[in-house]
Chain A
Amino acid sequence: MGVDCSFYLCKIFAARDVRAVANNKTKKSTMTSETPTPAIEVLHLDKRFGPLHAVRDISFSVYKGEVLGFLGPNGAGKSTTMKMISGFLEPTGGSVNVNGVDVAVDPITVKSTIGYLPEGAPSYGEMTVISFLNFIAEIRGLHGEKRRERLDAVIKEVHLEPVLHQSIETLSKGFKRRVGVAQTIMHDPEVLIMDEPTDGLDPNQKHEVRSLIKEMARDKAIIISTHILEEVDAVCDRAIIIAAGQLLFDGTPAELRARADTGNIDDAFRQLTTEYYEKQGAPGQS
Chain B
Amino acid sequence: MKNIKAIMKRELYGYFSTPVAYVFIVIFLFLTGVFTFYIGAFYERGQADLEPFFRFHPWLYLFLIPAISMRLWSEERKSGTIELLMTLPISLTDAVIGKFLAAWIFSGVALLLTFPMWLTVNYLGDPDNTVIVAGYIGSFLMAGGFLAIGSCISALTRSQVIAFVISVVVCFLFVLSGFPVVLDFFTGWAPQMLVDAIASLSFLTHFNSIQKGVIDLRDIVYFAVLIAFWLYANIIAIESTKAR
Contacts and interface: CB of A to CB of B under 8 A. Distances in A.
Contacts of B7: 139
Interface in A107-158: 108-109, 111-112, 114, 116, 118-120, 122-128, 131, 135-136, 138-141
Contacts of A112: 89
B243 A49 contact: yes
Given A124-B10, A138-B6, A86 B17 contact: no
B187 interface: no
A120 B90 CA distance: 22
Given A88-B242, A135-B10, A122 B87 contact: no
Interface stretch (B51-59, B77-85, B136-144, B165-173): B77-85
Contacts of A183: 84
A87 interface: yes
Interface string B83-104: 1101111110000000000000
Interface of B: 2-3, 6-7, 9-10, 13-14, 17-18, 79-81, 83-84, 86-91, 242-243
A125 B13 CA distance: 12
B14 to A, nearest CB: 6
Contacts of A108: 89-91
Contacts of B79: 122, 124-125
Most buried by A among B18, B81, B83, B86: B83
A64 interface: no
A118 B87 CA distance: 9
Given A118-B80, A122-B79, A139-B6, A88 B86 contact: yes
A240 to B, nearest CB: 21
Given A88-B242, A89-B243, A139-B6, A123 B90 contact: no
A111 B88 contact: yes
A167 interface: yes
Contacts of B14: 124, 126-127
Contact of B87 (A86, A109, A123, A126): A86
Given A111-B89, A112-B89, A135-B9, A122 B17 contact: no
Contacts of B90: 108, 139
11 contacts: A49-B243, A108-B89, A112-B89, A118-B80, A123-B81, A124-B81, A127-B14, A128-B17, A135-B9, A139-B3, A140-B88
A131 B11 CA distance: 12
- Size band of the interface chain A makes with B: 20 to 34
Contact of B81 (A116, A122, A167): A122
Per CB-CB distance, the 8 closest pairs between chain A and chain B, nearest first, are A122-B80, A112-B89, A118-B83, A111-B89, A116-B87, A138-B6, A86-B87, A122-B81
A83 B17 CA distance: 30
Contacts of A139: 3, 6-7, 88-90
Contacts of A167: 17
User: Which residue of B2, B79, B86, B242 has the most chain A CB atoms within 10 A of its CB atom?
Assistant: B86
Contact of B13 (A89, A127, A136): A127
A283 B6 CA distance: 43
Contact of A126 (B17, B88, B89, B242): B17
A98 to B, nearest CB: 12
A112 B13 CA distance: 24
Contact of B18 (A89, A118, A126): A126
Given A88-B87, A122-B84, A140-B88, A127 B9 contact: no
A124 B9 CA distance: 13
A122 B88 CA distance: 13
B10 A127 contact: yes
B190 to A, nearest CB: 35
A276 to B, nearest CB: 25
Nearest to B79: A122
Contacts of B83: 83, 88, 118, 122
B89 A135 contact: no
Given A126-B14, A126-B17, A167-B17, A120 B242 contact: no
A205 B79 CA distance: 24
Contacts of A135: 6, 9-10, 13
Given A112-B89, A127-B14, 14 more contacts: A88-B86, A109-B89, A111-B88, A114-B87, A116-B84, A118-B80, A118-B83, A118-B87, A119-B80, A124-B79, A126-B17, A136-B88, A139-B90, A183-B84
